[in-house]
Structure 1
């Protein structure tokens, strides 16, 4: 088989189940190159929506008709961790933050989070080096971000300490942490939340400390610079639409809602108005408590531990997705869309998109 041309090997591998392919990658450099080719990966991949829930093995297959799918899980011990945060994904590899029930103490240093890179298709994961708290005797709340600058190999993890001007950056290319001397210089707090990534920037929901006035804290990944963006009145739920930062806003008369996207210079444009079906779906607080925006102009809501709803803002229609078992939410519903990948977490920075 080693002497066969690549296109023949590709046709054979397209018929092979996923799990054996991961073994084949390690048997031959030639096979590894064929299997790792972005076009081959794309031909086998499903579009998925990942959910932070226990058991940690559920996602929604959004390729055609949405349905729940069971995944391979990394080793997660419920007795050790109290919360799972899905910060973001790139090339099918997720950055997850697992919050300890009690701080871990190693050599008199306190650690509150366990951070991993994880491929939900293979179950393969790699731990990000431990990073102690800024002060060993305090319990901190951290905000996290995961994204890249002008090129996809400029992938970084950003960790913010709430109510502080300090932040830290983990560079996946050099596999090291740095604490930049430049401060955030914002009188905002951003709580325990994940940033939304769009076009080289990370965006966090933030509040002014003295009067809780909302704003968006933005971080330019390439230039390592923070800035603030005004939050339109009454708007909430940051997300992306066609890779642009967006949010939901109630209409002035409260008869409906609108989807707004951010323009290049920080202004906002309304691209969609929707009313009837959505208003009936959010008639109870459970739906609003589990609401996130999908990049194709849809909303994902959790109505119960066994029922999710995907609402199309442009069509004013929805579909119900039933869970395989009860899904206990481990943290807020920070759903993340991704395309399945055969890439290893160790290679996430070396493979372009």
Structure 2
């Protein structure tokens, strides 16, 4: 195979090259290894035109889940961050805990979107900083963060493959005490939104507010088609239109006649749509949001607990009773943690599994103790895809 020298003055001619065309159809993971074959291949694969063509010619696939350990009620962060790949290596999944070792300090992961990850300094910190990085090529940029946010605040990432055009959305929960003659104990809660634009490199506060009595939990900002979604502690999903800066609350799907109780849930993206994953005494239900404004959900997948136990007797014993008897709302017996591209990272007791909804297959990922957790409450989980996108121009 011939070597090709990259001519930066004639980047446009590269897309006619046979080697360029073939490599641009290869998924990201093998391309990262192919960069080491020769200087010519490294130049092609690192080229801006090639990266754009490869994004157009291949689908972005889920490569693994980032698991961020955290305390429920504490003003101090946990530094433990783990990465669980979805593919097995020699029959066993290897847990990685140095994925963000290229950053200058320990970080807390805030958001993941199309291969790009947003992190912040672990608090307390004398100089709290926000980082936007690509773990695939170990590139990162540092952003101004003024004023620094509270440990409980959420920052989400909206990214559409153009490194110079990403946005961050900072969500802050405000408590307003109303003291009136009718109800002196009434409390109002609402969310405010601040936006950072990478083109202007500035933060600004949006005029939009959203009244909501429930706080945010779990996945912290799932970006789909221009909208960010956050799961709340109640039966609603907070949604924010990044361009129009408008918010709404979407009620989660509720079965007819409330025929079963939800034990735990999470949200995620699959085939460009928002999905709600629900574990109940009846089993696992996966719902798809068909219409954003009419709040129309469709049940896409359902599997009862007895079937799980029958198909995987080595994994599960007396599963339904254990799910029903679990009264710990912060650490339920069966807890869906993250969902992307039809793959669900789910915690059952002290073990982690990956359930492939498309193949209807369950695989053991690792013991939760392998993540070296300092807290047994549910962690924050983010999907990660590998991408060649460069942040050098951001």
- What's the TM-score once normalised by structure 1's chain length? 0.71
Across the aligned residues of Structure 1 and Structure 2, the Cα RMSD in angstroms comes to 4.4
Preserved contact between residue 260 and residue 268 of structure 1 (Cα < 8 Å): yes
Q: 1 or 2 for the larger relative contact order (CA 8 Å, sep ≥6)?
A: 1
Give how far 1:17 is off: 5.9
Per the alignment, do residues 154 and 330 of structure 1 end up closer, same or farther by CA in structure 2, a change over 3 Å counting? Answer: farther
Do the aligned partners of residues 223 and 153 (structure 1) sit closer, same or farther apart at CA in structure 2, a change above 3 Å counting?
Answer: farther
Alignment check: 8 A CA contact 1:290 1:333 kept: no
Q: Which residue of 2 aligns with 1:187?
A: 212
5+ residue gaps, structure 1, are 106-110, 208-212, 349-353
Pairwise CA distance, 1:255: 2.8
Any stretches of 5+ residues in structure 2 without a counterpart? 8-13, 69-78, 175-189, 255-260, 310-315, 324-330
Shift of 1:206: 2.9
Structure 1 contact 246–259 (Cα < 8 Å) conserved = yes
Cα pair distance change 1:85/1:287, threshold 3 Å: farther
Q: Secondary structure at the match of 1:345?
A: coil
Structure 1 residues 17 and 167, CA, compared in 2 at 3 Å: closer, same or farther? closer
- 1:1-353 map, 5 Å: 1-2=4-5, 6-8=17-19, 18=33, 32-33=47-48, 35-39=50-54, 47-53=62-68, 56=81, 58-62=83-87, 67-68=93-94, 70=96, 72-75=99-102, 84-90=108-114, 92-100=115-123, 102-104=124-126, 111=128, 114-133=129-148, 139=150, 141-148=152-159, 154-163=165-174, 164-180=190-206, 182-191=207-216, 194-207=220-233, 213-233=234-254, 234-235=261-262, 236-249=265-278, 254-264=281-291, 265-275=294-304, 276-278=306-308, 280=316, 283=322, 285=331, 288-289=334-335, 291-296=337-342, 298-302=343-347, 308-313=352-357, 315-322=359-366, 326-329=370-373, 332-347=378-393
Q: Which has the larger radius of gyration?
A: 2
Q: Secondary structure at the match of 1:219?
A: strand
**Distance of 2:231 and 2:358 partners within structure 1:** 25
Deviations 1:141-169 (A, max 9, x none): 202222258x9975311001122543210
Query: Hey, what's the Cα distance between the residues in 2 that align with 1:75 and 1:338?
Result: 17
C-alpha distance after superposition, 1:92-113 (max 9, x if no partner): 221223431x2536xxxxx5xx
Contact 2:85 2:94 in 1 (8 A): yes
SS of the residue aligned with 2:47? helix
- Paired with 2:141 and 2:101, the residues of 1 have a C-alpha distance of 10
| Conserved? CA contact 1:94–1:117, under 8 Å | yes
